[in-house]
Amino acid sequence: MGLFSKKKKAEEAEKKNKTRSDKSLEVNMKVIKAALEDCDDIVYKDFRVGAEQKLEFKLVYTDGMIDKNVINEAVLNALMVHAREIPPEAPRLIEKLFELVRYGTIPASEMKEIENLDDAILAILTGDAVLFIDGTVKIIVIGAKGWPSRSVSEPSTETLVRGPRDGFTETFRVNTALVRRRIRDPKMKLKQLQVGKRSHTDIGIMYMEDIAMESLVMEVYRRLKSIDIDAILESGYIEQLVEDNYLSPFPQARATERPDEVAANLLEGRVAILVDNSPFALVVPTTFNSLFQSPEDYYDRWFIATILRVIRFTAGTLSLLLPALYIAVTSYHPGILPLKLVLSIAASREGIPFPAILEAFLMEATFELLREAGIRLPAPIGSTIGIVGGIVIGQAAVEAGIVSPIMVIIVAITAISSFSIPSYNLSVGIRMLRFILMVFAGVLGLYGIMLGFLLILCHLVKLKSFGIPYMSPFVSFTASDLKDTVVRVPTFMMKNRPSNLARNRIRMKNNRSMINQIEKGGGNDDEKQ
């Protein structure tokens, strides 16, 4: 029995409150047309079938959202061209006629029966074709979705040197298929629901039934079901409505365009949330450590991945602290630097009319403007504006005596460091905190930086993502979980899944000992082969 079997009674109770269909086709059409009034993209196709052309049918669908080949070949051709095969007495045996149409006439791969008009209207607006037959309350919903969609391509926000090149699209079923291709296990479950009173957006909860904690899966489901909003237009809506702490600058759900990353997280015990019309899937819970990781870390050898992770953590630290350190050292603590460096900085700042904190704020704000402008401009122009604008403005500011050359170097290193963080949402949060630490440094110097850093650390330790500590595994005291942090151990040593995520922790057998045994001449013939 699945985790969501207890929810079926509530869903059945909701169905009782819906408008039931009538045997009369005319009555049903009055309700449908009243609900879809002034919707000129709704197509109503009338036709009659049978030996005497007395059986009235009505096919309703949304133009532009269906595959017309399916409609013409699988529905209209089957019912209209082969109408003579229906016996003359069929109108008097309407139930047998329905069974004939439902199970023997329409060669569509996806069909279902409904008996209420609310579901019929939703199916029409979702992209399905709905067939009404005069004389029966049963309605046939034919899967004929065929709207224009973007093809699968490489994610633009998460590029890799080594790894798969396919990424999520805006089509929900394509995204679920990309994950299903990677995990061909019946234990991988997909629970689908619709969120949004007006948009009825398809939301998918993906998890491994025998790995993920039941409490985590049910908590994700509960938070999604509790959302009461008009429309969900992107997964960012979901992320903001289900996060634990909306005041935190740190993301509490990881957004990714990569199906391989979603599959890897599912196998660790996490839950993925896929949203129709969005190429970004959400992975929960997330941790501070996981936001510095890239799928490429697991495709390269362990020491290469470790070096890259050390570089990323170093870049995150520089991006957060470097401007604040410049302000503190130049304004309050020049004595901690070598004399020659102090004289060099003093000489470069000679004639600068602004204090160090105002100089730093001016340059950082200017670079943030250039970064935002580069994102909003068309791609061929955006990169040019960012590079040329930074060089021209920086050089002009130095020549005009507004900022010092060392400040331009500090800003450039800070910007490059922020680009090294894999998670865009995390890098934005660090950029926000950078300005706060600059204020602390301008008021209290190094003591202000230490105070601000301790406040950030206290917030991180207190923060949780779906009940999981944000600083896991650094606060979990589980030695095996530390094998995949700043240092990534060899793959054969990562035998266990994270202790706070998975109920089935065993991920692999001791492959290295088996290989060593084979190299020494042990093992059976099959293992040697």
Q: What pLDDT, in 10s, does the model give residues 288-308?
A: 999 999 988 899 899 999 999
pLDDT at res. 47: 82
Average pLDDT, integer, range 497-509: 84
Give the full edge-to-edge strand order of the sheet including 42-49.
42-49, 55-62, 129-133, 139-142, 111-114
Q: What 3-state class would DSSP assign to 342?
A: helix
Lowest mean pLDDT of 285-289, 294-298, 491-495, name the range: 491-495
Both structure tokens of 364: 């950082």
Instruction: Read off the pLDDT of residues 148-173 as tens digits, 9 standing for 90 and up.
Output: 788 888 888 888 888 899 999 999 99
The stretches of 131-273 forming alpha helices (DSSP H) are 172-182, 214-225, 235-242, 259-266
pLDDT at res. 498: 86
% of residues, the chain, pLDDT over 70? 87
Please answer whether residues 336 and 303 qualify as being in contact, where contact means their C-beta atoms are separated by less than 8 angstroms: no
Helix (H) or strand (E) holding 112, with range, is: strand 111-114
Beta bridge partners of 116: 20
Question: Mean pLDDT, the chain, as a whole number?
Answer: 85
Instruction: Read off the pLDDT of residues 367-389 as tens digits, 9 standing for 90 and up.
Output: 888 888 777 777 667 666 766 67
CA dist 505 and 238 (Å) reads 29
pLDDT at res. 201: 93
Q: How many CA atoms lie within 13 A of 303 on its CB side?
A: 0
Whether 528 shows a pLDDT value over 50: the answer reads no
- How many residues does this entry show for the chain? 529
Lowest mean pLDDT of 94-108, 116-130, 227-241, name the range: 94-108
Domain ranges of the chain: 19-142, 172-286, 302-469
Specify the pTM. 0.86
Helix (H) or strand (E) holding 58, with range, is: strand 55-62
pLDDT at res. 383: 65
pLDDT at res. 311: 94
pLDDT band at 10 (very low <50, low <70, confident <90, very high): low
| 446 CB burial (10 A radius; 0-12, 13-18, 19+) | middle
pLDDT at res. 398: 82
Average pLDDT, integer, range 72-96: 67
CA dist 486 and 310 (Å) reads 6
Q: What is the dihedral of CA 134, 136, 137, 142, to 10 degrees?
A: -70
Looking at per-residue pLDDT, the higher value among 449 and 369 belongs to 449
Average pLDDT, integer, range 416-434: 91
